[in-house]
Amino acid sequence: MKQKAPSRFKGLMKFDQEAGRFPASRAGMIVFMIFLFIALFAGILAPYGPNERFAPFESPSHSHFLGTNDMGHDILTELIYGSRVSLLVGILTACLATGLGLVIGLVSGYFRGITDEVLMAVTDIFLMIPRIPLVIICAVFLRSSYWLIILVLGLLWWTTTVRIVRSKVLQIREMGFIVSAETLGFSKFHILFSEILPNTVFVIIPKFMLTVASAMIAEASLSFLGLGDPSSKSWGMMIRYAFERGGFIRDMWWWYIPPGLCITVCVLSIVLMSFSLENSVDRFTDIFRGLIPSFTRMRRD
């Protein structure tokens, strides 16, 4: 196998080549980038400040592209700033869930034995705990906020990642370079984190993306119930207020349909991106090998 020169840019180009087989996933990547862009540069893109007030319940017009809500805030501004909250909650939840799943999967797969049995049993139990009802309970007892959502969902959602990581670890631990590292006397933890970890990371990327998508939907649903933070509205929160404050009855579709569409399109873009990746994770492991120096030590056995 030819050794490719390490280049981060090459990695992205290869993703594009892979995605090119499914043109839809390229579109997904572009759309998602647009959302990220909007979220990052909300301050510049939004026509007004997030707390500026105008006449409430206005229909769309030249000065207010999407009208105003019950408090007189410009809805387009709210929509743009809302992207920050929705995306952030989704990404942070996925980070927590995937990170936790990664660690548990690594430990479980590498050490096996009783540790493995216990961790797998715990995973099975956690799998069956209904997530949204539990978040609801925690949110009514404690103060409802996005951090609570991130925390509870993240602490419950690692279950989907664990098994994938574990099976990959089971595969890798038999490979030559691991065995040689063991016989050379490296500590188990060292091997786990510097040899095995890099090779498992790429298996979880599609799962990570799908978790972001699912987390965004979950957050939107919970915000719709009123369990988010009213001071910084996510898209789901916007829909809730539209519903609660008479937006539906007054037929103000420009209030609740745009945020809903944003959630849908954003989630769809993530799903499309992960679609092509899922089919070629192994090829990706090869492609990204050039990115991290420690890979050059790994040979295809």
Partner 1 sequence: MPVFYKKALRYALTLITIISLNFFIPRLMPGDPVINLAGEEISFNEDQIEIIRKEMGLTKPLGLQYLNYWKDILQLKLGYSYHFHQEVSRLLFGRMQWTLLLVGLSVVFGAFIGAFFGSRAGWRSGRFGSRLSTSLFLFFYSVPPFFMAILFLYFFAFKLGIFPLKGYYRTGTLPDIIWHLVLPVLVLTLFTSARNFVIMRGSVLQEKNRLYPLFARAKGLSDKQVLNRHVFWNASLPLITLIALDFGFIFSGALFIEIVFSMNGMGTLIYDSIKALDYPVLQGAFLVIALMVVSANILADITYSLVDPRVRHQR
| Residue ranges binding partner 1 (CB under 8 A) | 24, 121, 124-125, 127-134, 136-138, 140-142, 213, 217, 220-221, 224-227, 236, 239, 243, 248, 251, 253, 256-257, 260, 263-265, 267-268, 271-272, 275, 278
As measured in angstroms, the least distance from the Cβ of 92 to partner 1 is 19
Q: Which residue's CB is nearer to partner 1, number 6 or number 260?
A: 260
**Nearest CA among 148, 169, 147 for reference residue 101:** 169
Residue 260 three-state SS: helix
As measured in angstroms, the least distance from the Cβ of 289 to partner 1 is 26
As measured in angstroms, the least distance from the Cβ of 125 to partner 1 is 5
Token pair belonging to 170: 């089971």
Q: Which residue's CB is nearer to partner 1, number 67 or number 290?
A: 67
**Number of neighbours of residue 71 by Cβ within 10 angstroms:** 13
As measured in angstroms, the least distance from the Cβ of 75 to partner 1 is 16
- Measured distance CA(281)–CA(18) in Å, rounded: 10
Token pair belonging to 126: 């956690």
Token pair belonging to 36: 């990220």
- Measured distance CA(164)–CA(273) in Å, rounded: 19
As measured in angstroms, the least distance from the Cβ of 63 to partner 1 is 26
Q: Which residue's CB is nearer to partner 1, number 186 or number 243?
A: 243
Residue 167: partners with Cβ closer than 8 Å, 6 or more residues away: 109
As measured in angstroms, the least distance from the Cβ of 142 to partner 1 is 7
Q: Which residue's CB is nearer to partner 1, number 13 or number 121?
A: 121
- Measured distance CA(86)–CA(146) in Å, rounded: 10
Q: Which residue's CB is nearer to partner 1, number 21 or number 190?
A: 21
Single-letter amino acid, residue 243: F
Q: Which residue's CB is nearer to partner 1, number 88 or number 268?
A: 268
**Nearest CA among 298, 101, 278 for reference residue 203:** 278
- Measured distance CA(35)–CA(234) in Å, rounded: 14
